[in-house]
Structure 1
């Protein structure tokens, strides 16, 4: 999976720029130092045994990814044992990629006997919030400890069929 670092970091940067444009300063989106920091972060994740990354391809091109694994911050809900990050390339929205990635995460959580998962989403990202609600996630009123702008959502993982 470390060979996927450029694809994952690039997808994250493109998706983040699209989602956040108009809500954060343009300099925040285009700062090369922040892009390097994101790439370093994903490099650590891809090399970690505590995380699983799913990379979606269409026509041999990476178009989305999801990461599940250990929570980056102590979770305010004691039932939560894993968190998810999910990003889809802006040119590939509404093609089922996010849904397919989400299903892969749920299957992995089921296999690992995870009962409750967490994700954090920007308060202004209505598109993502609607998607997560459509997948069964529910806001729980918590904010990530390091950012009050990140709203907490939880998902009870259904038993495997």
Structure 2
């Protein structure tokens, strides 16, 4: 998960009235837009983390193809792809599902990917995606949620901390290249039980 925060960037933002902002369940036809956002954000987030040849492989078409297949044949369980929209345009997404961590119980959900296009940040899309993810997971019976974040991505960690997720001390070194290069990630968690300490991340 990377670069889902709404922090300032040196990008030109559209002028004029803001388009209606919303979050909805992604459709198969959203795959190209989601793939484009993911390619832009992943290249930004992993620059200097993965080898250049890996960075170059972050192509919109490849991501879109994977999302299209996933949306056409979704896995069983509460796996969802949420799309953040400005009007009709998809400007961000969040992927959620049951936690795959070996130490997680059945009531643990995970935000496995979260991204907002750089030119659409500072408009609340990231926060709306997090809230929708938590609401969806809670509705499916989850009592806690976690997300893995690059250890050096302080801005994303700060955004998620402001949303109610905090490090629990767990970390992992994920292989990020065919040559075996690794990137360290840390885990952020939140209690999302209605009567828990963090009811609305």
TM-score w.r.t. the length of structure 2 is: 0.69
**In structure 2, which of residues 22, 26, 29 is the aligned counterpart of residue 3 of structure 1?**
29
Q: Deviations over 1:66-99 (max 9, x none)?
A: 111123x333243752210211111112210000
Q: Deviations over 1:130-159 (max 9, x none)?
A: 111000101112124745612111111141
The residue matched to 1:95 in structure 2 has which SS? coil
* Contiguous gaps of at least 5 residues in structure 1: none
Deviation at 1:106, TM superposition (A): 1.4
**In structure 2, which of residues 120, 127, 135 is the aligned counterpart of residue 92 of structure 1?**
120
Pick 1 or 2: higher relative contact order, CA cutoff 8 A, min separation 6.
2
Deviation at 1:32, TM superposition (A): 6.0
Report the equivalent of 2:133: 105
Quick one: distance in 1 between partners of 2:146 and 2:52? 29
Q: How does 1:118-157 map to 2 (within 5 A)?
A: 118-144=146-172, 146-147=174-175, 149-157=184-192
Report the equivalent of 2:105: 78
Report the equivalent of 2:51: 25
* Contiguous gaps of at least 5 residues in structure 2: 1-26, 176-182
Contact kept in structure 2, 1:76 and 1:142, CA below 8 Å: no
Contact kept in structure 1, 2:39 and 2:60, CA below 8 Å: no
The residue matched to 2:49 in structure 1 has which SS? coil
Deviation at 1:128, TM superposition (A): 0.8
The residue matched to 2:129 in structure 1 has which SS? helix
Alignment: residue pair count: 159
